[in-house]
Structure 1
Amino acid sequence: MKPTRSALITGGAGFIGSHMADELISDGWKVTVLDNLITGKRENLEHLLGDPAFNFVEGDVSDKDLLKKIVEGKTAVFHFAAMVSVPLSIERPEECHFNNVTAFNDLIIILKDMKIPLMYASSAAVYGNRDDGLRHEGEIPLPMSPYGASKAINEIQAGSAARVWGLDCVGFRFFNVYGPRQDPFGPYASVIPRFCHALSSGGRPVVFGDGSQTRDFIYVRDLTSILLKMYERASQNRGHVFNIATGKSMSVNELLKIISEISDSDIKEERRPERPGDIKKSSADITLLIKAVGIPDFTGIKSALVETADWYRDHYKK
């Protein structure tokens, strides 16, 4: 019987972090979540409260004394805490830098002394706007926002920590993640939760621009499964970053058509001007990911969208 492993998940009350908690606990881990609940939601973790394998700490990743206390003895850290909105990072660049760069550096310094592996969220936003084919990890980053720039800096910070101190840290360039619990509200909400919420509440989904922009959508439960596999291979992939995506992209207009089909409704969308910093084309080369973990068993987008839409229907009824 293998010893019980334990993880700290920063930003664990958020969309991806809460699903990562589910993934780890179902695999037999003990999990501590650290979240300041500014964007994370306690309700995302309600089903875990009372589980002896789960512990929630309300606090900020920038609180170094708290971080040192709760990370001690952990097997791994999964770091999702960040300002994740492109438009908001443009409005508040100093706040973005503090939350995403300064706090990340402090985390690395703590972990390098304790020799605790770090699995951290980067983003496809590091690539910027490019028209030529699939995005691969060897490309020079060309971020179009403070958010994208902060994630590119994180990769440099983590790569340096791997080379200088031998810290097992692996970065993940998330493309467009979707699934239950994703926040549909506010001007910075992602496209799938906005569409699903509009349908469940009787509203009109908003499309920014002409809808021809492409995205590589990955279901959140597929993503967390991949991250757990990557942890098992952290030492072999120390200092590297990987695209986390399906390798297939579709336009926002195509997505809207699929959602219309699965909901059996004639969707009348609302068109608005494109937003500053929005990327036109986003599609991933996942060759390195496949070399690391094999070919992932991706959930079909239609079945994943049905599950996602059902969740929004249950939570945001008309």
Structure 2
Amino acid sequence: MARPIIVTGAAGFIGRNTVAELNARGENEIILVDELGKDEKWKDLVGLRYEDIVTPEEFLGLIEDGAFVNARSVIHLGACSATTEKDADFLVRNNYQYTRVLCNWALSNEIRFVYASSAATYGDGAEGYDDADAVTPTLKPLNMYGYSKQMFDLWALKHHLFNSAPDRSHETSGSNIVGLKYFNVFGPYEDHKGDMRSVVSKSYEQIRGTGEVKLFKSYRPEYKDGEQMRDFIYVKDAVDVTLHFALQPADAPGGLLNCGTGKARTWIDLATAVFDAMGLPPKIEFIEMPEQLQGKYQYFTQANDAKLRAAGYTKPFTSLEDGVREYIQEYYLRREG
């Protein structure tokens, strides 16, 4: 019997694309963990091949009863990813405590564990975007979502779970885990995220409806309007990085790693790429930023990818223009055909 691969958040954005890529690689023995709810998220699973789908709560009950101990890996992408979520207790339970339970279970059964951290842990970037272990405790996230992700990063560091160490407190046979700090991921199947969708998705919708894109004005003199910068990563690359580490043995090297291209681009670059993909001239309007965002806005993000490269990921990343073109033309335009 094939050893299953467990994907949490499997009906989500990165999760759905991860399952599709596993299928493309011939992997069908997959356990999906997610809540489909009452919206249309289930439609994104149509056409995928997997063994079973269970809710997060059901999954906890199953592993308590001894299920899936022969799993090959856990790819833990399930979380509340809303940066505007105000319920701190909910975020602690969902993003931190649940992750601890899964991690401890995976380690005790020598199962590879890869989980989603976030570039939101870097806060305003005052400490840079270096994923070195010594830097992680100094970071100051700007919102509770980012802090809920940092909580687990810090717990894993405290217990030496990223690399084998003689003083590690968890009694395992040298299993390591991998945390991936996803930067600004964009691509197909993010529609259900609503306001948390990428600006690529939002821009396409705006252009289709009004012929123009609205971007936030800058409130810092060193950045002109629209020249705030982000590290945008195409979801296919984010999935490839994820599977590069998830499909390794449990005792393979681990680490807390940036998952970004290492190249910051402006919002104007992004909007222009969307217009180009749609065959239209750029038309951009700059609007006021909501007050609640003004003190919690990242003006610049750029992954330091040296540690990722040193960990063995060597493939080049898709350019912003190529990723946006494929996304718009192969997903939106073909679908609306």
Range class of TM-score, shorter chain: 0.7 to 0.9
Structure 2 Cα separation of the partners of residues 303 and 192 of structure 1: 13
Tell me if structure 1 keeps the 8 A contact 2:186–2:235: yes
- Give ranges in structure 2 of 5+ residues lacking alignment: 162-167, 219-225
Match of 1:308 among 323, 327, 330: 327
**1:103 pairs with 2:93:** no
Moved more, 260-269 or 98-107: 260-269
Match of 1:272 in 2: 288
Match of 2:207 in 1: 199
What CA deviation, in whole Å up to 9, does each residue of 1:25-65 have, x standing for no partner? 222322111111258921221111xx3xx134141258521
**Residues 99 and 261 of structure 1: is their aligned pair in 2 closer, same or farther, counting only changes over 3 Å?**
same
Structure 1 Cα separation of the partners of residues 184 and 57 of structure 2: 24
Tell me if structure 2 keeps the 8 A contact 1:5–1:28: no
**Residues 103 and 131 of structure 1: is their aligned pair in 2 closer, same or farther, counting only changes over 3 Å?**
closer
**How is 1:234-253 mapped onto 2 (pairs within 5 angstroms)?**
235-238=251-254, 240-253=255-268
Match of 1:224 in 2: 239
CA displacement at 1:226 relative to structure 2: 1.5
Moved more, 125-134 or 279-288: 125-134
DSSP-derived class of the 2:51 partner: strand
Match of 1:7 among 5, 11, 16: 5
Tell me if structure 2 keeps the 8 A contact 1:230–1:293: no
Structure 2 Cα separation of the partners of residues 221 and 255 of structure 1: 17
**How is 1:111-130 mapped onto 2 (pairs within 5 angstroms)?**
111-130=106-125
Match of 2:141 in 1: 143
Amino acid corresponding to residue 23 of structure 1 in structure 2: E
Tell me if structure 1 keeps the 8 A contact 2:131–2:256: no
What CA deviation, in whole Å up to 9, does each residue of 1:257-309 have, x standing for no partner? 22222322233446231525321211011001111124222222222111111
**1:260 pairs with 2:275:** yes
Moved more, 175-184 or 284-293: 175-184
Tell me if structure 2 keeps the 8 A contact 1:197–1:316: no
Match of 1:46 in 2: 46
Amino acid corresponding to residue 135 of structure 1 in structure 2: D
Amino acid corresponding to residue 198 of structure 1 in structure 2: Q
Structure 1 Cα separation of the partners of residues 209 and 81 of structure 2: 25
**Residues 313 and 278 of structure 1: is their aligned pair in 2 closer, same or farther, counting only changes over 3 Å?**
farther
Structure 1 Cα separation of the partners of residues 89 and 195 of structure 2: 20
- Percent identity of paired positions between Structure 1 and Structure 2: 25
Match of 1:87 in 2: 84
Structure 1 Cα separation of the partners of residues 40 and 91 of structure 2: 16
Match of 2:223 in 1: none
CA displacement at 1:312 relative to structure 2: 2.3
Match of 1:64 among 60, 66, 70: 60
Structure 2 Cα separation of the partners of residues 85 and 161 of structure 1: 29
**Residues 201 and 180 of structure 1: is their aligned pair in 2 closer, same or farther, counting only changes over 3 Å?**
farther
What CA deviation, in whole Å up to 9, does each residue of 1:114-133 have, x standing for no partner? 22111000001111112576
What CA deviation, in whole Å up to 9, does each residue of 1:217-243 have, x standing for no partner? 1111111112222232653423x2000
- Give ranges in structure 1 of 5+ residues lacking alignment: none
| Runs (4+) off by over 6 Å | none
- Number of residue equivalences: 308
Structure 2 Cα separation of the partners of residues 273 and 307 of structure 1: 30
CA displacement at 1:198 relative to structure 2: 2.3
Amino acid corresponding to residue 13 of structure 1 in structure 2: A
CA RMSD of aligned residues (A): 2.6
Q: Which has the larger radius of gyration?
A: 2
**How is 1:202-217 mapped onto 2 (pairs within 5 angstroms)?**
202=210, 204-210=212-218, 211-217=226-232
What CA deviation, in whole Å up to 9, does each residue of 1:77-136 have, x standing for no partner? 000110111112xx2222111110121122123223322111000001111112576534
Structure 2 Cα separation of the partners of residues 251 and 74 of structure 1: 42
Match of 2:72 among 60, 72, 75: 75
